[in-house]
Structure formats: C-alpha cells, structure tokens
Amino acid sequence: MDTSTVLYSILGGLLVGLGAAAMMFMSGRIAGMSGIFSGLLKPKPGDFGWRLSFALGILAGGALLFALRPDLFTFGVSRSLPAIAIAGALVGFGARLGSGCTSGHGVCGVARLGPRSLVATATFMASGALAAFLVNHVLGGSI
Amino acid sequence: MLAHIVTFAIGMVFALGFGLGGVADPATIVGFLDFLGDWNPSVALVMVTAVAVTSVAYRLMFRHRTKPVLATRFAVPTRRDIDRRLVLGAVVFGFGWGLAGLCPGPALAALGSGSLPVVVFLAAMVGGMLAFGTWDRASARRAAAAKAEPASVTPAPSVVERGRPAASGARVATRARRGGSAGAAELVLS
C-alpha cells in the first residue's frame, strides 16, 4: 500500500467508526446497513422515517463524493450483469438470514466482541475469500 | 425532525467513509478477499480502524450514559448463540460479497454515481431480502403447522437432535426452525 492508500483507508475507517458511534450515541442503534435497509422493505409505523433519512443520507453523501472524486466509484472488476444480480441476491438473502453484514457484524458487532458477530465476520470473510479465489484463479478473473 | 436530520447526516458520514476508504469500488474488496492474488490489504486497515473507533466509543458511552441522546434506550442485540442461520447466512452473504465486491452500504453510496452494475446489484439485493422474507414466513408456517398437529408427527426421540429430521422422516419442530429471531439462548449447532 502506498502512503496515500494508507491515509485514505484510515480516514475512511475513522469516518465509518464515527458514523457507527454516532448512530449508537444519538439514536441507540447498531449501524447495520442490511438491517436498516430491510426494515425499509416492510415499513412499520414509527420505524420508517429514520431508516429513510439514513438511506437518503448515504445516497446524498455518495452523490456528493462522486461529484468531487468520481475516481472513487470506478467499478474496477469485470462482471456481467447477470453475475452481479446473482451476487446481489446472495448478499440480500444472506444478510437477512445471518442477521447482518459487514457493518452490522463486521464493525459494530466485532467492536462489541459479540460472539455471533465474531463468528459471522470470520465466516463471511472466508466465504468471500473463496468466491474471490474462484473468480480470479479458476474462472479467469471475470464472470 | 431533529432525529431525522441527525440520521441523514450520519448516513452522509458513512458514505464518505465508504468512498474515501475505497470500498465503493469492488476492485478494492475483491483485491482484499483474493489474498492469494495481488493482495490489497487496505480493507483490513479500514475495518480495523472502524472497529477501533467504534469499540472505544461504545465503551465510553455505555459507561457514562444510560440512554442515547435522541432515543429512549440503547438497542443492543442480546443474543449470543451461534445458530445455523447465522453461519449459513454469513456463508451466503460472504460469497455474494466476494463475487460482486459490493455490500449494502457502499453499494447505496455508489448509487449516486448512476452506475448500472450498482443499480442491478441493489435491485437484486432487494430481491434477495424480499425472498428471504417469503421463505422465512413459509418456514415459520411449516413449523407452526407441525407443532399444531402432534398426531401427524412421530414421537420425539429421547435425544432430540435440533435441526435434523427424526429417523422416520417427520420433522421435529424446534425453536431453531421458527422464523424471525426470538432471543433463544440455546446453542444450536448441526
């Protein structure tokens, strides 16, 4: 990693950590993206507004950053749309089945040393590594 | 209203974090997960930093506060059991994450770029989430039906293996199979 990557990675991590801390400090919630988004799909009264504003904030923040630094949003891997769709479906289904994703388990849960999150994180890292290995070393790097 | 402005702002902070940390580009994630290839360790640095900040912040706030600023309580998960759903869910999620190099938060942050692959990913992710809901409700109904008709279920063996069909083929309805996540504290491994 060059210096610039190191600095940006640390900065990114600081902001994600700040966001997770703020979510708990202000709203008393785990900042688990999959949990927050899936709650948008089956809206319950009183439980919808904050999820929507959070999602809109992410969208707005991303759009703003894209305007300033479009290079951060390059889609740098060779993937067909059907492959992406399959991957997306697995991510959505798996996150709900496993009660969380990289932010909920990987950041918030690990920060709490929650046994479920420690196991989930280790598991999805291994599973992700397998997928990446298969694509890059068995299937030629693009699917 | 204030609460919504705050959560909007927190969302923006996350998007900035994901973007600047490089994880809105799938190449960063795939480069990290493919550790046998041209390894890109930057995701590890992003996550370790995020976990460190969150960990310290959580400790401080739980020690010095009894409630969050704008809500009535800290909604912290209480379950500690490792069940089949957790592990299987993580396997499935992780595999999709490794294939696409995207997960929900960064994908939503990247949506503002208008990239078609990101749109497709998010649409499919929603589909996967909805499919889970349908499957979950159906399996809860099956479990409830099995419980409600004891005559049609063979007597449970003296040693109940949770999550496995009884020898005769009839399924033993267990708490592990109920849809949703009631806070069952038992260890369920199969």
> What interface predicted TM-score (ipTM) does this complex get?
0.98
Give the per-residue pLDDT at A24: 98
- More confidently predicted of B1 and B117: B117
Chain A from 1 to 60: CB within 8 A of any B CB: 1, 5-6, 8-31, 33-34, 37-38, 41-42, 49-50, 53-60
Residue A25 tokens read as 């400090």
Q: What is the pLDDT of residues B3-36, one digit of tens each?
A: 999 999 999 999 999 999 999 999 999 999 999 9
**Residue A52 to residue B42: CA distance in whole angstroms:** 30
Of B9, B77, B95, the CB nearest to A128: B95
- Name chain A contacts of B132, Cβ cutoff 8 Å: 92-93, 96-97
* Residue located via tokens 């009839």: B170
Nearest CB to B33 within list A16, A88, A128: A128
Is it the case that residue B187 has pLDDT exceeding 50?
no
For chain A, positions 62-91, list CB contacts with chain B under 8 A: 62-66, 69-70, 72-77, 79, 81, 83-91
Q: Is residue B179's pLDDT more than 70?
A: no
Please name the residues between 64 and 123 in chain B that touch chain A, using a CB distance below 8 Å: 65, 67-77, 79-82, 85-105, 107-113, 115-118, 120-123
- What is the token pair recorded at A137? 């070393």
Q: Report the residue of A5, A9, A119 to disrupt the B interface, i.e. the one with the largest count of B CBs within 10 Å.
A: A9
pLDDT on residue B152 = 53
Determine contact, residues B43/B28, Cβ cutoff 8 Å. Answer: yes
How would you class A139 by CB atoms within 10 Å of its CB: exposed for 0-12, middle for 13-18, buried for 19 or more? exposed
pLDDT of res. B8: 98
Alpha helices in chain B (DSSP H): 2-20, 26-33, 42-64, 84-100, 104-111, 116-148
- What's the rounded mean pLDDT across residues A104-113? 97
pLDDT at site B156: 53
Residue whose pair of structure tokens reads 């099956």 in the numeric block: B142
Q: Is the pTM for the entire model greater than 0.95?
A: no
Predicted confidence band of residue A88 (pLDDT cuts 50, 70, 90): very high
Dihedrals phi, psi of B58, to nearest 5 degrees = -60, -45
Backbone angles phi, psi at A142, to 5 degrees: -145, 145
User: Quick count: other Cβ atoms within 10 Å of Cβ A71?
Assistant: 8
CB B43 within 8 A of CB B32: yes
Q: What is the distance between the alpha carbons of residues A132 and B30, in angstroms, rounded to a whole number?
A: 6
* Six token digits for residue B79: 């379950």
Q: With 80 as the cut, is the pLDDT of residue B37 above it?
A: yes
More confident residue, B168 or A80: A80
Burial of B140: CB neighbours in 10 Å, binned 0-12, 13-18, 19+: middle
pLDDT of B174 above 60: no
Determine whether the interchain pair B92/A97 forms a contact, defined as Cβ–Cβ distance below 8 Å: yes
Q: How confident is the model at residue B154 (pLDDT cuts 50, 70, 90)?
A: low
CB contact under 8 A, B96 and A74: no
Residue B143, pLDDT > 50, answer yes
Q: What percent of chain B has pLDDT over 90?
A: 74
Q: What is the pLDDT of residue B155?
A: 58
pLDDT over 90 for what percent of chain A? 98
Above 50 in pLDDT, residue B167? Answer: no
Tens-place pLDDT, residues A38-53: 999 989 998 999 999 9
Would you call A135 an interface residue with chain B, using a CB distance cutoff of 8 Å?
A: yes
To the nearest whole angstrom, how far is the Cα of B169 from the nearest Cα of chain A?
A: 25
Query: Chain B contacts of A101, Cβ < 8 Å?
Result: 93, 97, 103-105
Q: Is the pLDDT of residue B162 over 80?
A: no
Q: Does residue B165 register a pLDDT over 90?
A: no
Tens digit of pLDDT for each residue in B74-119?
999 999 999 999 999 999 999 999 999 999 999 999 999 999 999 9
In 3-state terms chain A splits into helix, strand, coil percentages (rounded to 5) of: 75, 0, 20
